[in-house]
Structure 1
Amino acid sequence: MTRRNEQIRAREVRVIDDQGEQLGILNRNAAIDLAKERGFDLVEVAANAEPPVCKIMDYGKFKFEQSKKKQEAKRNATVVQIKEIKVRPKTDEHDYQTKLKHIRRFLEEGDRCKVTVFFRGREIVHKDRGQVILERVVEDTRDIAKVEQAPSSEGRTLHMLLVPLPKK
């Protein structure tokens, strides 16, 4: 196709009216005049199509409705936070139960929970104690949570990520 033919083709557009009916392929200027005659705008909806597709619509109203939909989507969106609980390998039973209660509360509220075991000094030698604690947390929360990120070691910490089970 020569350059001249491309320019001529670019002046033609497929037009859809405000009711959704196809009006066919029209000259671009004729389509603009038709839209103005009806009191609307000519909006290009598919530029990559051959020929480009344009729709006769009230563009201001269209933009307003789009912004309202976007606001509604924002309003209905739920924000999921990641809460973190830190324990030590020497954490006693009562302290463990208290932290477990917090973990359960976070998960019931729909938040993710990161459980971190941090080691100080020579405690790092006993990483197996940290693994035992994390396995116990998984076992104690099995009814309301699942492990999203398996226990992994990073420096002096051992951590995993729990997510709440979908509600029925």
Structure 2
Amino acid sequence: MKVKTNDEIRHEEVRLIGSDSSQLGIFSAAEALEKAYDEGLDLVEISANASPPVCRIMNFDKFRYEQAKKVQDAKKKQTTVETKEIKFRPKTEEHDLNFKIKHIKKFLSQKNKVKLTMRFRGREIVYCQTVGLEAMNKIASYLEDDAVILQPPTMEGRQMVMFVGPKS
């Protein structure tokens, strides 16, 4: 967002706020600019959509620096939630399934969402509503302490998909 300063402000009159945050009143743009120069500061347009537009007398370099700091702090505090994917088949054995559940719990502890994908090959597709749904519900029951189901098991082509997320 480009902020207009000093000579870039082309309005007839502006509402002026002083360097000490006091309301100075409505002035012509030229008078407001003169007042800013008298104080050795810049005239900065705060709100262009107001009627009349609001301008403030301030040190623009310091203002820009503080804005950059705010953006930097906001970036530090934001967390990115990744979606991890775990794939398995309807005939995945109990031991392998337990390992995959451990991985799911690890991803959930790192505050990531997990996409569980069960792929059906060839004639396995016949068992999608029985064996496949059973396996998905079994996994969901193992995860009920650590996770919340964001999307229940649904078929997408030849694979069944379920999304789980961490409990808050």
Question: What TM-score do you get using the length of structure 2 for normalisation?
Answer: 0.90
State how 1:16-27 maps to structure 2 within 5 Å: 16-27=17-28
- Secondary structure of the residue aligned to 2:52 is coil
Q: Which amino acid aligns with 2:56?
A: K
Q: Is 1:164 the counterpart of 2:147 in the alignment?
A: no
Mean Cα deviation higher: 41-50 or 28-37: 41-50
Shift of 1:27: 1.2
List aligned pairs for 1:16-165, cutoff 5 A.
16-128=17-129, 129-165=131-167
**Alignment partner, residue 4 of structure 1:** none
Please report how far the alpha carbon of residue 76 of structure 1 lies from its aligned counterpart in structure 2 after TM superposition: 2.0
SS in 1 for 2:155: strand
Secondary structure at the counterpart of residue 19 of structure 2: coil
- For the pair 1:15 / 2:16, whether they are aligned, the reply is yes
Question: Share of identical aligned residues, percent?
Answer: 45
For residues 111 and 48 of structure 2, what CA distance do their matches in structure 1 show?
Answer: 43
| Cα distance in structure 1, aligned partners of 2:95 and 2:152 | 25
Supply the distance in 2 between the matched residues of 1:67 and 1:165 (Cα, whole angstroms).
34
Determine the C-alpha separation between the residues in 2 that align with 1:71 and 1:113: 29
Within 1, Cα distance between the matches of 2:77 and 2:48? 32
Letter in 2 for 1:55: R
Classify the secondary structure of the residue corresponding to 2:57.
strand
> Could you say what secondary structure the match of 2:165 adopts?
strand
Gaps of 5+ in 1: 1-9
User: What residue identity is the alignment partner of 1:25?
Assistant: I
Q: CA deviation at 1:87?
A: 1.0
Distance in 2, matches of 1:110 and 1:51, equals 48
